Structure 1
Amino acid sequence: MPIHSSRRALRRLVATAVATGTTALLCAVPAAAAHPADPAPAAAPAHAQAPDTSRFKGVNWADPRDNYADDPVVLSGLSLSDGYATTYTKAHRIIAAFRANLGADTVRLPINPYTVNGPYWHAYRAVIDAATAQGFQVIVSYWEGTGARKDGLIDDTAAFWRMWTTVTRTYTGNHRVYFEPMNEPHGYTPGQWADIAAQWLHTFPAVPRDRIFVSGSGYNDSVVSVCADPRLKGTYLSLHHYGFWGTHTYDEWTADLKQRLGDCAGRTVADEFGSSMTTGLDYDQPADGNNEVAFLQADTDVFRALHMGAVYWPGLRTGDTYSLESLTGSPDAPWLTTNNPSGADRLAWAWGRGKPATESAR
């Protein structure tokens, strides 16, 4: 999730210019990834259709830098200097707060090669372990770096495959961990991105297909093309949707979302969507022309009606006005407080609980 409209709008303008000439590099999978040194378990059967996605009731937990980093990602409330035990203690409390405050059962976490291929991986694993120990489902997603590399392309293909070899070896045996090969692959054409996703499936056949999230094309903004590709059958699809992409009424936002889903809602989890949570907006009241309120009410109504999984951006990210939660307590014993109860209401509504916004909001 970029810092919001200005940055994402700029990258949309350049996406087409950088979308060519890349698949040959990506097909050069290093031997360590294609043929792991450790014996791989037998490939799990691919399901014809991923199960009902509504069981993913989650939030994103993010680095204050928006997860784009040329060094390890360090989630809000954690520290690069902390070892496994301290990271586990902090993560355990924050995950528990997501459940206590919001009723979440899923968390989406970023990774990059700096995190996994270096010394911080030992400590970062504590976040995943603390979440799964509490029964949470964890979606692990690759994010690209910053600067000139922030182009919607895999930064370093050798490091990318090495990273995923390590992550899949570590967590394929944990049924609560899910793998999203890349976040927002907007530097590729839809066809190029489908080729890369298919390459990922071929490289890691031991990962069950119903534990894989294939991002939609572009900024994860449409799942239509990946849904139609038979090579990706049986996987989940991930969609991103944001109100700063335009200015619309409730009905127009509903139509916009459904167009991006096509007939693939049954496989799709919205693993990023959000609105301002620190500016005092009331999402339980009529929109009265407010684009953010209309957007969030439309999205949460559609997710509920279509029984879709919904993972809010972000549950926690320091400095992000969209953050639904903020850190409280001491740094060594963190807890969370909810920034906008009406936003939490809308998220609960998307998850099949709670109450709708007032009738006059429609």
Structure 2
Amino acid sequence: MRKTPARTRSTSRSRAAVVAVAIAAIGGTTLVGSPASAAPSGDTTQFKGVNWADPRDNYADDPVVLSGLSTSDTYAQTYAKASRVISAFRANLGANTVRLPINPYTVNGPYWKSYRGVIDAATAHGFKVIVSYWEGTGARKDGFIDDPATYWPMWNTVVKAYKGNSRVYFEPMNEPHGYTDTEWADLAVKWLGTYPSVPRNRVFVSGAGYNDHVTSVCADPRLKGTYLSLHHYGFWKEYATYDQWVSDLKERIGNCASRTVADEFGAPMTTGLDYNKATPDNNSINFIQADTDTFRQLKMGSVYWPGLRTDDTYSLQKLIGNAARPWLATTNQSGADRLAWSWGRGKPVSP
């Protein structure tokens, strides 16, 4: 779930009256989709990642520009900056995956030539890259694809460029909360049918709603062989105990952990909280400890929100050094420790 730094967004799953019109505009015919080749293995622990985001948030009506980058950067400058940020993600956190936003303004316009430098640098450094479509802002921030006439050409360009790169993964839409569970599954099937050359084990199908449950897409046999992406946030509840957060998370996953990656979860990192110590009266600490323990237990990959986003209190990294040669510093070592724990390293929480 994309958020402002204040985390004020409502979590209600609204159903706009224009759902049927939007589905028809996208092309409502349900396609069978491509064969379920190379289904994901028994766990998703190979995805150890972070999100790299636009300081203004990834919902935008212009190109998304990741923290530390600029639309004036050439491909070479973008590649050089991205190489350093990716190297810092690995050095500081042990990450091997980065999730990046795209939209039609980024891909269908002149900035795409430079923006590709981020994807190219990350994969050249051995990172897996999850490329995810984000809708616009204002009235467009409604959980629907903004404009099918620009959405599909965007994906045509991205798929053509990266279908041959085994480190690039495709997420057709972030938080498709405008659609019903069935409508969203139909649209994901349409995406698979449109790009049969993309192996299913390189597609992340978002959970329905705000990516808040994967049980419905997991149960759809038409989506067999894909990964599933889940989002989970502590601000969804004013307070819950550790055990309640574990139960909440497991209910959203169901029996689908072996296909699921939590490609967004997060909590405040710049406010001094110690996530390495059990603190039962603190909701954020309960949440992070419950999620990281459960990801480790279920052998689930996770992609923290955000690894880097300027002026976001949840950001686990911050930019330091020369703007042309950026590096990163960790904002909360205990948060980094919990992320490492979820990835199978480190030590458990102290009592």
Give the Cα–Cα distance (whole angstroms) in 2 for the partners of residues 207 and 328 of structure 1.
38
In the other structure, the counterpart of 1:52 is 43
Give the Cα–Cα distance (whole angstroms) in 1 for the partners of residues 41 and 145 of structure 2.
26
In the other structure, the counterpart of 1:301 is 293
Q: SS at the partner of 1:241?
A: strand
Among 177, 194, 199, the residue aligned to 2:190: 199
1:114-150: CA deviations, max 9, x gaps?
Answer: 0000000000000000000000000000000000000
**Cα gap change, 1:248/1:14 in structure 2, threshold over 3 Å: closer, same or farther?**
closer
Gaps spanning 5+ residues in structure 2: where? none
Give the Cα–Cα distance (whole angstroms) in 2 for the partners of residues 90 and 338 of structure 1.
18
In the other structure, the counterpart of 1:20 is 19
Give the Cα–Cα distance (whole angstroms) in 1 for the partners of residues 25 and 106 of structure 2.
22
Aligned identity (percent) is 67
Give the Cα–Cα distance (whole angstroms) in 1 for the partners of residues 15 and 6 of structure 2.
18
1:245-276: CA deviations, max 9, x gaps?
Answer: 00200000000000000000000000000010
Q: SS at the partner of 1:281?
A: coil
Moved more, 281-290 or 205-214: 281-290
CA RMSD of aligned residues (A): 1.6
Corresponding position: 1:154 with 2:153: no
Which amino acid in the other structure matches residue 246 of structure 2?
T
Give the Cα–Cα distance (whole angstroms) in 2 for the partners of residues 165 and 28 of structure 1.
19
In the other structure, the counterpart of 1:140 is 131
In the other structure, the counterpart of 1:39 is none
**Cα gap change, 1:279/1:218 in structure 2, threshold over 3 Å: closer, same or farther?**
same
In the other structure, the counterpart of 2:204 is 213
1:23-51: CA deviations, max 9, x gaps?
Answer: 1111179xxxx9xxxxxxxx776234455
Higher helix share: 1
With the length of structure 1 as denominator, give the TM-score of the two structures.
0.92
Give the Cα–Cα distance (whole angstroms) in 1 for the partners of residues 118 and 196 of structure 2.
25
Runs of 4+ in structure 1 deviating by more than 6 angstroms, as ranges, are none
With the length of structure 2 as denominator, give the TM-score of the two structures.
0.95
Report the CA distance between 1:288 and its aligned residue. 3.3
Report the CA distance between 1:166 and its aligned residue. 0.4
Which amino acid in the other structure matches residue 327 of structure 1?
L
Give the Cα–Cα distance (whole angstroms) in 1 for the partners of residues 5 and 14 of structure 2.
16
Report the CA distance between 1:20 and its aligned residue. 2.5
Report the CA distance between 1:230 and its aligned residue. 0.6
Corresponding position: 1:289 with 2:289: no
Alignment of 1:67-106 (within 5 A): 67-106=58-97
Aligned residues: 345
In the other structure, the counterpart of 1:336 is 328
In the other structure, the counterpart of 2:4 is 3
